Structure 1
Amino acid sequence: MLVFGDRGFPLILFPTTKGRYHQNKDFGLIDSVKWFIDEGLVKIYCPDTLDHRTWYDKGISPADRARNYSWYDKMLLNELAPWAIHETGVGKVAVAGCSFGGYHAANFALKHPEKVAHLFTMGGAFDIKMFTDGFYNDDIFYNNPVDYLPGDNKSELWQMNIILGTSEHDICKDYNIQLSNILAQKNINHWLDIRPNANHDWPIWKEMFPHYLSTIK
């Protein structure tokens, strides 16, 4: 894990598909919010994911992929989020990510809204069933936001600042519209931000991220 900043609102920032903990630095996403870090407004935690041992591991069964992911989720819930809260003295975290990092962020926030004050996704996709070869069990259900969210009534969902960032030519735009519709049906306030004339790529994400951080209060 890389950590940027020494104080401010704690934000967990996930990498894209099979990306490593240093990816968001390498592709300039951290530089795009340098002002917020230097001003002490945010402290950003960039963890690894376990994509290569979970949803993208075709060498193990879908049940094992889902079980491994549930363990990863427990690490975030019981280790990383509490540590970020402890270090900063802030009561909740923010979570964010681009592309598949948006899935990690959305799943953690919507599954554990008592821990999360802000959710920012950029080009995310939120239906994990595309990785499970038709198999389905509780581990998949409880890590698939479009499945569990309709029946989830935790009061903190209505208190969260939620931004779903996508773009006109984003390959994941329909996933964002789908999740936005579920949130709207539950009267959960959020912003579906569809940027014109942009693709599923880092340039638009680097425009979105500082804009979204500016909404943290």
Structure 2
Amino acid sequence: MISAPHAVVMEREYQKWFSPALNRHMEMLIFGSGGVPILFFPTRAAHFYDLENWKIIEAMRERIVNGEIQVFCVDSVDQESFYSSDPPNQRIIRHLQYERYILKEVIPFIKKRNKSKQLTVTGCSLGGYHAVNIGLKHPTVFTKIVGMSARYDLTKPLPFFADLFDGYFDENIYYNMPNHFVPGICDKKLLQQIRKIDITLVIGREDSFLADNERLSAALSQIGVPHKLYIWDEEAHRPRYWREMVKLYL
């Protein structure tokens, strides 16, 4: 009797440490051992393990096993920032603390583990917002940005989606909403840096965030930033779509 060949095991590692930026423990899952590192943000109020549970990691198995990509799935603090009951000015401050955690703790960790000169940042839904926002704000850190099914102005109420700051607006909010700050980018050095990034936006034709994506795409074009906008049929705002998107765009 001839036995079937064993499936190649995908390397999977769990990490946890106390974050000084957030003053709490944060968790992470790492898939693979080498290749282009991908920082993957979870969806709205989701967690570091959800991408695995939704088979999105499985959709990238072959590339992970072959050493083409290494995926770092971080946790979120959305329930403590955008979706908390704290005053709006404190919500954005908590988000900035989360950004500091990513920049000062997660990115150095990735660079220590992976010597690639490339770094992709991505996410789905609110995770796509996180990816695009941090990528455009810190263009020397990332080489590729992929935003899937994301909303780029959290201050604008939409059907079924509220203004996450209850009408409050300040400078911190302005500089963390791509559809606000991107049209105003005029610094030549910053523009040069952003233009080097491979930027992809993906959205469904029936998604509530379609106009947000079209607005950001128009703003990027206006300031001369090359990018790609892909519009899928239907809403395309579910894990079964994201499983296909990661195969095409990451």
Q: Which runs of 5+ in 2 are unaligned?
A: 1-27, 156-162
Q: 2:31 maps to what in 1?
A: 4
Residue in structure 2 matching 1:178, options 209, 215, 232: 215
Q: How many residues align?
A: 212
Residue in structure 2 matching 1:49, options 76, 81, 86: 76
Q: Give the superposition deviation at 1:171.
A: 2.1
Given that residues 179 and 212 in structure 2 are in contact (C-alpha distance below 8 angstroms), is that contact kept between their aligned partners in structure 1? no
Matches within 5 A, 1:104-183: 104-129=130-155, 130-152=163-185, 153=187, 154=190, 155-183=192-220
- Within the alignment, does 1:192 sit opposite 2:229 as a pair? yes
Residue in structure 1 matching 2:102, options 76, 79, 84: 76
Q: Which runs of 5+ in 1 are unaligned?
A: none
CA separation in 2, counterparts of 1:181 and 1:149?
10
Hey, which of these two has a bigger chunk of helix by percent?
A: 1
Given that residues 119 and 163 in structure 1 are in contact (C-alpha distance below 8 angstroms), is that contact kept between their aligned partners in structure 2? yes
CA separation in 2, counterparts of 1:66 and 1:32?
33
Q: CA offsets per residue over residues 90-139 of structure 1, 9 Å max, x none?
A: 23421111111100101110110110101111101011212111111222
TM-score scaled by structure 2?
Answer: 0.82
Residues 148 and 33 (structure 1 numbering): CA distance in 2 closer, same or farther, change over 3 Å? same
Comparing 171-180 with 95-104, which one deviates more in the overlay?
Answer: 171-180
- Within the alignment, does 1:203 sit opposite 2:240 as a pair? yes
Residue in structure 1 matching 2:91, options 61, 65, 74: 65
CA separation in 2, counterparts of 1:78 and 1:92?
17
Q: 2:53 maps to what in 1?
A: 26
Q: Give the superposition deviation at 1:183.
A: 0.6
Identity across matched positions, percent: 30
TM-score scaled by structure 1?
Answer: 0.94
Given that residues 123 and 146 in structure 2 are in contact (C-alpha distance below 8 angstroms), is that contact kept between their aligned partners in structure 1? yes
CA separation in 2, counterparts of 1:197 and 1:62?
33
CA separation in 2, counterparts of 1:142 and 1:92?
25
Q: 2:16 maps to what in 1?
A: none
> CA RMSD of the aligned region, Å?
1.2
CA separation in 1, counterparts of 2:209 and 2:232?
13
CA separation in 1, counterparts of 2:234 and 2:168?
37
List 4+ stretches of structure 1 deviating above 4 A.
Answer: none
Given that residues 207 and 234 in structure 2 are in contact (C-alpha distance below 8 angstroms), is that contact kept between their aligned partners in structure 1? no
Aligned AA (2:247): P
